[in-house]
Chains A and B, each alone.
Chain A
């Protein structure tokens, strides 16, 4: 009888721990999948940039350093390692792009009514939004996973197999640095 109870408890414990680790694995996979979405959207953004720059290049002949900034930031996103690094590089890129567009708009106010320029701006806004929403989905998924890892009972199984994941987020000082570059669009 005692033996049966002991075996029963063991089986129960095994089932419970498998359920918990499965849940954590699922949350981790969901977060990883959400990260690949950011990657897709970042790549889309990077591949659009040459076209965007080409379209406004004619207006900024004398402002070459902002074009250089865009190119540098683009390269930084390409070479980024890990969520935090990519977030920082992406933030710089967004800043330099909006500087570029703000500059063009300031010098050529008549562009505001231009259909083609409007379309271009809509594409830029949407491209930024896509990255933002992918980032939001990733950060939510990571938060759900991280909560599962640090709270009981998940914390019992945390360890090398279930490390805490990094948010796709920009540290405060980098944000200020980049914001200083930006001109309100």
Chain B
């Protein structure tokens, strides 16, 4: 497949993932309603969940830079890097993003923001270990994230994940409280209706238990999809997918982990900065990034 087709395919897949995500949120709202039985309470809870999610993550993304300890890059220090960022911004037709350097031996990079307000952060290890073409590939990948509004895409995914988890938690507690005081339960007057009601209740409780896990899987899937998309876009911008492939190989093979990375920021980096864990939770379904080998293979065939 050419990078044009890959870009299209990844965009389409993201749309479907979000359709699934919204359906899941709707299912969750329904389940909460079945348990809670007051529309107003359900609506209030939904608003609360989404509202706090938005507030938390808007505040959060502004803090990311200070959090990881990046500093503004000086021009003499990074003449080549600064030039490469200019060039890629021209190729992507977006305003030049801010450039920060993170003093860390591990080669890695990440980006936040949207066109016009974007920031690219590169570790000093990346500068030392990559050549110009590889650097251009990495910067193109980061600028593609900015051009695709990926910070916003991921924020929406995280807000939905947050909302679903919060609703699940509240509904679960509500149910637990209710079963302690069973006499307060309304309805279920005749027997047939009671049967139907209890079936509904079982489905709702299953949804309440399983939806947060499904939401988490969806969030990871969106994140992986946006990584593939940024890779394909980087190929479009540089017309040199092999350089990015070779950069990814260098980054993945490097031994130094990023000191300042945490689970909350790992989805931002070009290659996941966390050391892979073991067991089920380390499988690709629970990863913010696709396997690097897979990305390299796709890039080399573009």
Contacts and interface: CB of A to CB of B under 8 A. Distances in A.
A136 B239 contact: yes
A137 B236 CA distance: 10
Contact of B90 (A33, A41, A119, A123): A41
B48 interface: no
Contact of A130 (B80, B90, B93, B237): B90
Interface of B: 79-80, 83-84, 86-88, 90-93, 132, 237, 239
Nearest to B236: A140
Contact of B93 (A119, A123, A126, A137): A137
Nearest to A41: B90
Contacts of A34: 93
A133 B91 contact: yes
Contacts of B79: 119, 122
B90 A126 contact: no
B80 A133 contact: no
A36 to B, nearest CB: 11
Using C-beta atoms within 8 Å of the partner chain, give the interface range for chain A: 10 to 19
Contacts of A130: 86-87, 90
Nearest to B88: A133
Given A34-B93, A136-B239, A137-B93, A129 B87 contact: yes
A156 to B, nearest CB: 25
A136 B80 contact: no
B83 A133 contact: no
Question: Which of A37, A129, A136 gathers most chain B CB within 10 Å?
Answer: A129
A134 interface: yes
A137 B143 CA distance: 15
Contacts of A133: 87-88, 90-91, 237
Contacts of A119: 79
B87 A126 contact: yes
A137 B80 contact: no
Contacts of B80: 122, 126
Given A119-B79, A122-B79, A122-B80, A137 B90 contact: yes
Nearest to B136: A129
A134 B83 contact: no
B87 A136 contact: no
A126 B85 CA distance: 10
Contacts of A137: 90-93
A2 to B, nearest CB: 40
23 contacts: A33-B93, A34-B93, A37-B90, A37-B93, A41-B90, A119-B79, A122-B79, A122-B80, A125-B83, A125-B132, A126-B80, A126-B83, A126-B86, A126-B87, A129-B83, A130-B86, A130-B90, A133-B90, A133-B91, A133-B237, A134-B91, A136-B91, A137-B92
A57 B87 CA distance: 27
Which 9 A-B pairs rank lowest in CB-CB distance, beginning with the nearest?
A126-B83, A133-B91, A133-B90, A129-B87, A134-B90, A137-B93, A133-B87, A130-B90, A130-B87
A123 B83 CA distance: 8
Contacts of A33: 93
Contacts of A123: 83
Interface in A119-159: 119, 122-123, 125-126, 129-130, 133-134, 136-137
Nearest to A133: B91
A36 B33 CA distance: 56
A122 B83 CA distance: 8
Contacts of A125: 83, 132
A83 B79 CA distance: 30
A104 to B, nearest CB: 20
Given A34-B93, A119-B79, A137-B90, 5 more contacts: A122-B83, A125-B83, A133-B87, A136-B91, A137-B91
Contacts of B88: 133
Interface in A88-141: 119, 122-123, 125-126, 129-130, 133-134, 136-137
Contacts of B92: 137
A138 to B, nearest CB: 9
A126 B91 CA distance: 13
